[in-house]
Every structure is written in C-alpha cells, then in structure tokens.
Structure 1
Amino acid sequence: MTVIQIRLPKKRISRSWKGDVMLFALLALVGYFMALPLVFVISNAFKPINEILKFPPDFLVRNPTMTNFSDLYHLLAGSWVPVTRYLYNTFFIAIVGTAGHVIIASMAAYPLAKRHFPGKATLFTIVVLSLMFSATVTQITNYMTMSWLGFLDTHWAVIIPAIGSSLGIYLMKQYMEQIPDALLEAAEIDGCGEFRIFWTIVMPVVKPAWLTLIIFSFQGLWGAGGAAGAMYIYSEQMKTIDYALGQILQGGIIRTGPSMAATLLMLTVPIFIFILSQSSIIQTMSTSGMKD
C-alpha cells in the first residue's frame, strides 16, 4: 500500500520586518497617549498640595506623599454613616445590577438570535433604536416609572433601569447569531429542552460576550452612584461611596489632595475587573464568527 503525502505550500507573510517595526511603533505611540490620563491620575494622587496647585502642573510627582490618602481616611471616618455602609451599597448595586442585566439580556437575546416568531424583526428594531437615546433623555421617564413602582429611595431604583438596558441585548444577540444552528438542532434531537440548551450550550459558547458585558455593566453602575444618589436615593444610609466622596470633598481647595486620592481609588476596582477579563473583550471584538 502506497501512502501519498501532499505538502501544502507554506503561507508567506507579505509584511516585511520594517513593516512590523513601523506597526509596533505606531501601536506604542497610540498606547502611550491612551495611558497618559491614567498615569496623570496616579501621579496626582501622590502629589502634595503645592504640586497639585502648581501652574503649569508637573505631569509626574516630584515629592510623593501618602498625606492625601490619610486625609481621605480621616474625612471618611468622621462621617456619621460608616464608610463600610457606603461600600456595601455600591457593591450591592453594581453586582446585583450587573448579574441581572447579563441574565435578562442573554435570555432576551437568545430567541431574537436563534428562534423565529412573528414580530421578531420589529422587536430587534426597537432595541437598536433605543441605543440612540442617551440616559439623560430617559431620566424623567425612569423617574416616573420608579415612582409608580414604589422603588424610589431604594437600591432597586438604580438596579432596575440598568437591568433593562438594551446594550446587553444587542451585544448578546449579535454574538449568539454566530452559533451554528446544527449545534442546537443536535441538542434538540438528543432531547434537550430550551432552558437546557440555553444554559449548557449557548451560554458557555458565548462566554467572551457576557464577560465583556459584565465589564461594561459593572463599570457603568460603579460610577453611577453620584447621579443616582441625587435623583433616586434620598436616605444617607442608602447612598453609594461615589456620592459620599463627592459630598465630603466639597469642602473647598484644601480638600483637593483627598479628592485626587479618591479619584484613584474609584478607578481601582473597574481597572482590576478589566485586567481579569481583558482577553474576553479582545476575543469578543475580534472574533470572525462561527460557521456551520
């Protein structure tokens, strides 16, 4: 028996090493400018008050100090509501709102992506059109809805609108469309119901998409405490750390240093979550799709 070996020609890379160097230099330059705001925030958090108020300001700190963080700690310790309560409110809103948004958006996107029913195109058109309206446009409507539901001055006044955001439905629907229909048909032949197909097949396949959605949703809820605290939540013990820091740091120019430290601390959690899931974001944005 004769075995015939077929050798395929190796794929040639048309870009030369000079092109690689130029591309790397361009990406490094763009990355440098994108990192400048973050570096400036970190630098300001460790600057003494005389360097913060210097004009023109120095980009990097010359005499680093931890005074800003200690002053911020004493300001928070002097509040009549414990800082742990503010932190609990912030994490509760961010975690519950993010989890609810991911689950509801995924369940709503699944039939829009993989099932056929009357009015499907109209519903998706409404979802797409809703992306055109900013949060400012819908503030009055959201306030009236939360008032009718009796959710004002509760955490649900912030969580419910976040759960119903149309961004998650659009993102999950577009990603679920790339799942081969043959995979779902095989599961149906094996006797799987809709919920089992959704939880055990669809959701694991679209993991990069819902991890990306977690980052977007958590980041939005983490920084929404100030506006939400002023519009929906009135009780001091129900407000978030973002709102508390904004109120404490309105003491004039003398609190500029603690405000810089607070800005850095508020950025720490979203950046940490992004670092843990950055590969999923890249995979979601760069995927070319799954084919039958």
Structure 2
Amino acid sequence: MSVFRAIRSIIPRRPANRSLFGDAMIFSFLALFAAFTALPLMYIVSSALKPLDELFRYPPRFIVVNPTLTNFTDLFQLLSNSWVPFSRYVFNTMFITLGGTAGLVLFASMAAYPLAKHKFPGSRSLFTIVVLALMFSPHVTAIPNFMIMSLFGWIDSYAAVIVPAFALPLGMYLMTQFMSQIPPALLEAAKIDGASEYRILWKIVMPLVRPAWLTVIIFSFQSLWSGNSASTYIFSEEKKSMDYALSQILMGGIARSGAAAAVTLLMMIVPITIFIMTQRKILQTMSTSGLKE
C-alpha cells in the first residue's frame, strides 16, 4: 500500500471536470505539436552531420545515413586559415553581446521604474511611444540609426552596435509591465524606513521582477548574438563579429556546403542552450506581462 501511495503522491491530481481520456488527448496533441516544432532543429543537426553526397541527394533525406564530422573539421580548417584569428571574432561578438545586454537591462530598469510607479506629466504618452515602437522593424530604423551613429562619429566602432541596443522597446515594455504589478504599499514602507529611490529600485524592485529582466537578457542576447548589425556599422576586419566571419563561409559556393551546414548548427547552439536554461522564467514573464494589479 505504501508503494501505491508514493506513486499517487508523485502523479499530479487530475481536475474533477476532466477525464482520463481528455488528459490523454491533451498530452497527445502537445506531444505531436512538440515533435512538429522540433523538426527544423532536427533537420539542421542532421544536415550538419551529412557528407556532401547526402547533402545534394535528390530527393533529400531527412535523417542522415552515414553521419560524419567532416563538415566540422573543414569549418575549423577554413577558420584557421583566416588572416584574422577566429578568437578575435569570438571576442568581438561576446563584447558586443554582453555590453549591449548589460546596458539594456540597466537603462530599461531605470526608465521603467518611474513610468510604472510615478505619475508625472507625459508619463502615459511616453509609455504609448514605447508600445508603438514595438511595431517598428529594425530594418525601418536602419537608415536613421546609421545617420545618428555617423553624426556621433561612432562608425567603425563597437559603440555603433552597443549603444543602440540599449533602447530595445521590448525590454522597457516588459520591465514597466512587471514593475506596475508591485504593490505600492511595499514601496511606501521602504520610503518610510528612509530608503532612497535608487535603493528601492535595486534592493526591492529588481529582485521582485527577476523573471522580467531575465527575459530581457535572453531576447537581447539572441538579437545581438545572431544579428548582422555589426557588419553595417563596422568596416574593420579585426572588429567584425563572429556572425560576419561565418557568413563568409556560407557564400563560398557548393564546395563549402558542408561547412555552411556546420555553421548553421554552431550559431544556434548558444541561444538555444540559454533559452532552455531559462525557459521557465520567460514563460512566466509572457503569461503575466499583460496583467494589471
């Protein structure tokens, strides 16, 4: 009897208004949807392990028959022959990604706090502008951004990529929505105890909105890691990002098709790994960002 009780304690209880058949149907639908969603990722992994004869086989096969690591060895050989060390491209990418992400979290938090917890003239208009900015594609603002960076003299520098990343509208929107759900009584109690606005923000508000800024970090990291904006503003080869270096391999023709398949897989590994590690926080943020107190 104790074994059955242990099993029943592990299995979550089913709602009274739902049958076992209903649970089976929901699970089957979710499993089918998950398998369908995973198909592109499985195809990329399979293509990275295919030899050249399987890559150009017609009709193409979804699953690799003779897996090989030749594509990765060819890729590393191409990178080792570059006159700029590949480690330099990695450093540039990490510097731009970490700098832009840290700046976004800092400025989005400091800007969202007064919008969410202080009523001042024009606050609603500013938040409306932030919401409207979500509709604009980065391609729409590419020319104005280039003109502004050129006016500041930041062309061909890291600042031309890092500084515009501070103004990601989605970051400020999520932080504002989450901060607006914090009870005002909690902040009033901190003010009565003598806490300053900066201390309230970093000691009380930021720990409470942790899912929000973790989600902002993920979106910013993915955008800067795999984005090609660095090639627009940076012309010096030693300052270009890893995405630019690997994109040159993709343009190498049929002979580099295997290396190109390996490039696609390598560029996806880091963002997907980070997303898997923090997916619970992201889902929590998406499910509560539209709620009000």
Give the TM-score taking structure 2 as reference length.
0.92
Long gaps (5+) in structure 2: 1-12
The aligned counterpart of 1:125 is 128
Query: 1:73 deviation in Å?
Result: 0.3
The aligned counterpart of 1:77 is 80
The aligned counterpart of 2:8 is none
The aligned counterpart of 1:209 is 212
Alignment partner of 1:141 is 2:144: yes
Q: Which deviates more from structure 2 when the two are superposed, residues 282-291 or residues 127-136?
A: 282-291
From 165, 180, 192, the counterpart of 1:162: 165
Q: Which deviates more from structure 2 when the two are superposed, residues 59-68 or residues 160-169?
A: 160-169
Identify if the C-alpha distance between structure 1 residues 291 and 174 changes in structure 2 by more than 3 Å, giving closer, same or farther: closer
Query: 1:284 deviation in Å?
Result: 1.3
The aligned counterpart of 1:178 is 181
**Number of residue-to-residue matches in the alignment:** 281
Q: Is the 8 A contact 2:249 2:259 kept in 1?
A: no
Alignment partner of 1:279 is 2:280: yes
Deviations along 1:13-66, whole A, 9 cap, x unmatched?
A: 311111111111111111111100001001100000011111221111110000
Q: Mapping of 1:47-86 within 5 angstroms?
A: 47-86=50-89
Query: 1:146 deviation in Å?
Result: 0.4
Q: Is the 8 A contact 1:178 1:289 kept in 2?
A: no
Query: 1:249 deviation in Å?
Result: 3.3
The aligned counterpart of 2:260 is 259
Query: 1:286 deviation in Å?
Result: 2.6
In the aligned structure 2, how far is the partner of 1:227 from the partner of 1:187? 42
The aligned counterpart of 1:228 is 230
In the aligned structure 2, how far is the partner of 1:34 from the partner of 1:172? 29
Deviations along 1:153-188, whole A, 9 cap, x unmatched?
A: 011111111111111111111111111111111111
Deviations along 1:59-109, whole A, 9 cap, x unmatched?
A: 111100000000000000000000000000001111110111111111111
The aligned counterpart of 1:95 is 98
Report sequence identity in percent. 59
Identify if the C-alpha distance between structure 1 residues 265 and 196 changes in structure 2 by more than 3 Å, giving closer, same or farther: same
The aligned counterpart of 2:5 is none
Q: Is the 8 A contact 2:174 2:289 kept in 1?
A: no
SS of aligned partner of 2:235: coil
Amino acid at match of 2:241: T
In the aligned structure 2, how far is the partner of 1:47 from the partner of 1:12? 47
The aligned counterpart of 1:7 is none
Identify if the C-alpha distance between structure 1 residues 288 and 233 changes in structure 2 by more than 3 Å, giving closer, same or farther: closer
Q: Is the 8 A contact 1:49 1:256 kept in 2?
A: yes
Q: Is the 8 A contact 2:249 2:260 kept in 1?
A: no
Q: Is the 8 A contact 1:233 1:239 kept in 2?
A: yes
Q: Is the 8 A contact 1:180 1:291 kept in 2?
A: no
Identify if the C-alpha distance between structure 1 residues 289 and 188 changes in structure 2 by more than 3 Å, giving closer, same or farther: farther
The aligned counterpart of 1:3 is none
Query: 1:288 deviation in Å?
Result: 8.4
Deviations along 1:120-174, whole A, 9 cap, x unmatched?
A: 0111111111111111110110000000111100111111111111111111111
Q: Is the 8 A contact 1:51 1:61 kept in 2?
A: yes
SS of aligned partner of 1:271: helix
Alignment partner of 1:39 is 2:42: yes
Amino acid at match of 2:27: F
From 7, 17, 21, the counterpart of 2:20: 17
In the aligned structure 2, how far is the partner of 1:227 from the partner of 1:127? 22
